[in-house]
Amino acid sequence: MSKDLSTWLDTLLNELQGIEVRRRSSRRIRVDVQPDALPALLELLRGRASYVHLSAISCVDWIDEGEFELVYHVWSYEIGSLVSAHTRIARDPGVYISVYDIYTPAAFFERDIHEMFGVFFEGSPDMSRFILTEWDGPPPMRKDFDSEAWVNAHFDFQDYQPDWLQEIEAKGGGVAVRPDEQRFSRRDLDAS
C-alpha cells in the first residue's frame, strides 16, 4: 500500500511544473520550489498526499547570495517518508507568507524564525518575542551578527588570576592556561 502511494507521489511530483524533485533515499525526498508555489505544494502534500505532520521549519542565512533558505519538513505517517521543501526568499526585506492556515504548528516555528533571523511571516498569528524576551539587539542567528563583539560590549569576563593556580597547585591539582587563552574584562582593556 505505502509503496504504491510512494510511487504515485513520485509520479505526481514529477508532473508538476517548476519544481525540482530529488529522492535522497526511500524515505526522504527533497523538493526545491519557488517561493510563490510553496504554499500550494504544502496544501497539495497535506490535502492529497497524507503529509499531515509539519516536523519543523528551518532557516539558513545565505548572506553572500542575499537570500534566506526556508526548509519545510513534512512527514507522512502512511507513506512513512519525509519531504523537505526548500525555498529561497530575498534576504531584504525578508518577508514571506505564513503557512499557519495549512499547518497550525507553523505558528511556533515562524515565531522562532522571526526572532532568530528577522524573517517576517505575513498572516502568522503572533510575531512577538518568543524565547529571547530580554533581547533588544539584531536577530542573533543572522550571519552578519557578531556574537563575540556583542559579548564584549555587554559582559565582563572574570580576570585571570595566577594566584588561584598556585593555591590549587599547592594542593596537587590544576592545569596551565596558555597566555593566548587568558581573557580579561573589558574594563581593563579600556584602561590599558
Partner 1 sequence: MTEVTKTPAAGDALPVKTGKRTNPLANVFDELVRFAQSRSLFMLHYCTGCGAIELPPAMTSRFDMERLGIQPMVSPRQADILLVTGYVSVKTLKRVILTYEQMNSPKYVIGICSCTVNGGMYWQSYATAKKLNDYMPVDIYIAGCMPRPEAVIAGLRGLIEDIRRGTADTWKDYYRRYDHYLGNQQRLFGEDWQTPTDVIAEARHYGLFGPGTLGERTALLERHQKPLEALEMKLDIPELMARRSGLGSKGRTEVK
Residues that bind partner 1 (CB under 8 A): 131-137, 140, 145, 147-148, 150-151, 154-158, 183, 185
Here the cell at position 109 is 516555528
Question: Please, which residue, 155 or 179, has the CB nearer to partner 1?
Answer: 155
Minimum Å gap between C-beta 105 and partner 1 is 23
Question: Please, which residue, 30 or 142, has the CB nearer to partner 1?
Answer: 142
Minimum Å gap between C-beta 148 and partner 1 is 5
Starting at the earlier edge strand, list the strands of the sheet with 67-76. 20-25, 28-32, 81-90, 67-76, 53-62
Question: Please, which residue, 120 or 145, has the CB nearer to partner 1?
Answer: 145
Nearest by Cα to 31 from 48, 53, 9: 9
Distance (Å, rounded) from C-alpha 115 to C-alpha 57? 13
- The CA–CA distances, whole Å, from 156 to 135, 149, 165, 183 equal 18, 12, 21, 10
Question: Please, which residue, 15 or 136, has the CB nearer to partner 1?
Answer: 136
Distance (Å, rounded) from C-alpha 116 to C-alpha 145? 11
Minimum Å gap between C-beta 151 and partner 1 is 6
Minimum Å gap between C-beta 55 and partner 1 is 25
